[in-house]
Structure 1
Amino acid sequence: MSLDHRVSVGFLPLLDSAILVAAREKGFAEAESLDLVLVRENSWASIRDRLAVGHFAAAHMLGPMPIAFNLGLAPLAAHTIAPMALGLGGNAVTVSRNLWTAMEDNGASSRFDPASAGKALREVIAAKAAKSRPRFAVVHPHSGHNYELRYWLSASGIDPERDVEIVVVPPPLMQDALAGGRIEGYCVGEPYNSAAALAGIGRIITLKSLVWRSSPEKVLGVAANWADANPEALGRLLRALYRAAEWCGTAANHGELAEILARPGYIGCPAEWLLPALSGNIPTGDGQVVAVDDFFVPHKKAATFPWKSHALWFYSQMVRWGQIEANTTNEAVARESYRPDLYRTALGPIGVALPGANAKVEGALTRATPVGSAGASLVLGPDGFFDGKIFDPDRVGEYIGK
């Protein structure tokens, strides 16, 4: 087949690169006459820089990164848009064996309950406050990992600025940093939580999918100038990725997907590290396995739709933690960084279920709920925050002011 468009896309070796990898390996890109070239990187800073200088048209990207780029929060950052999400959930918080033992002594649940884990961690921190603060790692300052870790800590009565130290470590180095005693815990995407648990190095204590159910994670970050100049290629890319997401979301394909992702050119790890997140059977790190609904969602629940409410929640956390000033201009920049209009243009003609709105109240759905949509039927939720809070994208100022 003659391939009409060559598109270079950067990615990190993480489970949530699955849609990109499947689009290439299972022929969905080729079916759209795309030569999809995937380039593995080892840090989000490298992804940022190579997109900025034109090496990549698009990239597997942290959900807040396009917003941070467009707000001027990162050096050497190009104007970047997010016309598609790459799934929901997929992160966890893992701690050292010693810290887990102390948390367990203070009543931490063995089943990842965020309220129980937070309460126990607060008590451990209070007991050792005079000696040292535990050091936790996240993958980037402008990451869902940083914001969800801080949200969980704060809601648990732990001050992320004073009670713990938060540092940045690239995802593939998290497990080694924990094993070497450089950090006492981390928030990262798969497979680096399961890897530590299966090796007996760390204990998973809570999950992104329990802190905020149906929560956003990675997006397809696209250089805005490339998108403007190549609308046909962008549409083909979004269609290929959507069909790949359908394939990735089918349980019968998970064994094959794990084998593909495990190859050296992609994640380069044992397939056994990837199967827990795909199946939802999550190893704790002390011999147990806990079945978790919707740990990682690549397709259902509008998992690839770039909700403006997700962008605005990320913006609210940037303001909360002092990264940017709250004003109407910055809020507008955040809102317009996510582009559901481009998603609709590419996928509407092929009958994809499209939400009736571009934003939604986050945390309002307590159960799976059929919603109005164009095309096929669509079910959203549950999507609640563990502390019962609600985020209304029409009241961002009020939310920030609380």
Structure 2
Amino acid sequence: MDNAQETAVGNGIEKPRLTLGFIPLTDCAPLVIALEKGYFRRHGLDVTLSRQPSWAAIRDKVATGLLDGAHMLAPMPIATTLGLGGVRKATIAPMSLDLNGNAVTVSNALYRRLTAVAGVEPAQRPVSARCLRRLLDRDGEVLRFATVFPFSSHNYLLRHWLACAGVDPDRHVGMTVIPPPQMPRCLAAGEISGYCAGEPWNARAVAQGIGRVLITGHEIWNNSPEKVLGVNQDWAEHHPNTLRALLMALLEAAQWLDRPENRPEAAALLANPDYVGVPAEILQMSMTGSFQYAAGEPAVSLPDFNVFHRYAATFPWRSHALWFLTQMLRWGQIAEPLDLHAVAARVYRPDLYREAATALGLPCPSGDYKREGIHAAPWTLDTGTSSLVMGPDLFCDGIAFDPADPIAYLAGFGLHRLRVRLDDLRREGNPP
């Protein structure tokens, strides 16, 4: 019996052999590092990582038990629990995997048209979608943009950014879904005018000279949640010790990842064809915080493009779940009234996270919710026994989100797509 097996037996691990799914993106790094640096084995787990072709495949295989868990889009466990998108399976997110990590990239042809109508405005940082609105008003056409999945931070951040400038994401922009690795090819072929995707697929388009980044996700919502670990609720209930060991391994991997001196090695590991499979120098554009918006332009320093551990990046805030629920309502994806806080509490599980963090002696937030959009600079969160340095959390529209009253936040937007009456939502117990 080797050390990993002894650890598994000693910790009462119910299922030491696991298969975890991932999409080839920079932010699958916690899973890759936990495997390559031995953190899974340290906690008694024998893990196989399974590269998947799409987010729909991830959802379906976790729901049916073909995968024990997966690297998931942060809103995906919510959507799957609610049965949105055709698959209903109670799914939980006991851990966040990262903050930020995505961007909006457009074709060179579209960028030239934007500069023709708006001058230097498209090169300003952060850029407003007003330049896109001016082009649309002039030409009256519908542009085609892609996101990675209907229930994704990419979809909601892109829509939020467009709507801030009066661009209707469904009337002015034809929204489609394309798996992230296919987006640069579709952009080059003229099948889409732009996309919102995670790294390295924005850097890939820049390196190939086929597109340029307009704005990063961090500039739309500073330190927004991006991916989570997702597992079936019944799987978690039948394998509590396995899940705790899995969380502990991923927490240690996240700590390793956020040491700057480790980022080049992480990029080299991710470059392996079994993982992301693009050159390490492209992966390093976001991983080392030296990012190019366009080919030929000097790199700019974006140290928070990929955040894996600092700013409590691994904590599954229920306030993040609530914000995603408001967006599902805002854009007509939810058709029935529901108790938003109850859904957030069912899906995002900081209680499970705290068990693993406590076992490792790591500090973690004492509360499950925090206001978003109120900090323009780093700030300190008092956990009761220690403090955590947190990052800025502003939205590009300057509007704050108070999780105590998500309906008031929702009421502040144009709600012609809302399929549920606000009064019906309030009757469901919102706010508490």
Give the structure-1-normalised TM-score: 0.96
Per the alignment, residue 11 of structure 2 pairs with none
Per the alignment, residue 348 of structure 1 pairs with 358
2:378 to 368, 380, 393: 368
Unaligned 5+ segments in structure 2 are 9-15, 413-432
Report if the CA contact (8 A) 1:82-1:338 is conserved: yes
Using the alignment, how far apart are the partners of 1:202 and 1:332 within structure 2?
A: 42
Note if 1:287 corresponds to 2:296: yes
Displacement of 1:374 after TM fit?
5.2
Pair 1:371–1:331, CA change in 2 (3 A): closer
Using the alignment, how far apart are the partners of 2:265 and 2:303 within structure 1?
A: 21
Pairs within 5 Å for 1:81-160: 81-105=92-116, 106=118, 107-115=120-128, 118-129=129-140, 132-160=141-169
Using the alignment, how far apart are the partners of 1:33 and 1:137 within structure 2?
A: 40
Displacement of 1:285 after TM fit?
1.8
1:190 to 195, 199, 203: 199
Displacement of 1:203 after TM fit?
0.7
User: Bigger shift: 200-209 or 292-301?
Assistant: 292-301
State the one-letter code of the partner of 1:369: W
Unaligned 5+ segments in structure 1 are none
Report if the CA contact (8 A) 1:114-1:207 is conserved: no
Report if the CA contact (8 A) 1:353-1:376 is conserved: yes
Pair 1:291–1:17, CA change in 2 (3 A): same
2:312 to 302, 308, 322: 302
Using the alignment, how far apart are the partners of 2:124 and 2:336 within structure 1?
A: 37
- Secondary structure of the residue aligned to 1:86 is strand
User: Bigger shift: 170-179 or 270-279?
Assistant: 270-279
Per the alignment, residue 400 of structure 2 pairs with 390
Report if the CA contact (8 A) 1:114-1:211 is conserved: no
2:347 to 324, 337, 347: 337
2:82 to 33, 47, 71: 71
Pairs within 5 Å for 1:110-259: 110-115=123-128, 118-129=129-140, 132-259=141-268
Please give the per-residue CA displacement for 1:127-169, whole angstroms capped at 9, x wherever unaligned.
111xx21100000111110000000000011111111111000
State the one-letter code of the partner of 2:182: L
Report if the CA contact (8 A) 2:121-2:127 is conserved: no
Using the alignment, how far apart are the partners of 2:153 and 2:359 within structure 1?
A: 32
Report if the CA contact (8 A) 1:7-1:35 is conserved: yes
Using the alignment, how far apart are the partners of 1:104 and 1:389 within structure 2?
A: 28
Displacement of 1:321 after TM fit?
0.3
Report if the CA contact (8 A) 1:361-1:393 is conserved: yes
Give the structure-2-normalised TM-score: 0.90
State the one-letter code of the partner of 2:358: G
Using the alignment, how far apart are the partners of 1:330 and 1:364 within structure 2?
A: 22
- Secondary structure of the residue aligned to 1:47 is helix
Per the alignment, residue 57 of structure 2 pairs with 46
Please give the per-residue CA displacement for 1:223-273, whole angstroms capped at 9, x wherever unaligned.
111110111110011010000001111110111111100101101111111
Report if the CA contact (8 A) 1:213-1:382 is conserved: yes
- Secondary structure of the residue aligned to 1:237 is helix
State the one-letter code of the partner of 1:60: H
Report if the CA contact (8 A) 1:15-1:261 is conserved: yes
State the one-letter code of the partner of 2:256: W
Displacement of 1:111 after TM fit?
4.8
Pair 1:252–1:376, CA change in 2 (3 A): farther
State the one-letter code of the partner of 1:262: A
State the one-letter code of the partner of 1:191: P
CA RMSD of aligned residues (A): 1.3
State the one-letter code of the partner of 1:388: G
Displacement of 1:120 after TM fit?
1.1
Using the alignment, how far apart are the partners of 2:403 and 2:127 within structure 1?
A: 25
Displacement of 1:109 after TM fit?
4.2
User: Bigger shift: 90-99 or 355-364?
Assistant: 355-364
State the one-letter code of the partner of 2:387: S
Identity %: 45
Please give the per-residue CA displacement for 1:161-199, whole angstroms capped at 9, x wherever unaligned.
111111000111000000000000000000000000011
Report if the CA contact (8 A) 1:352-1:376 is conserved: no
Using the alignment, how far apart are the partners of 2:276 and 2:61 within structure 1?
A: 20
1:311 to 303, 321, 325: 321
Per the alignment, residue 422 of structure 2 pairs with none
- What is the aligned residue count? 398
Q: Name which one, 1 or 2, has greater alpha-carbon Rg.
A: 2
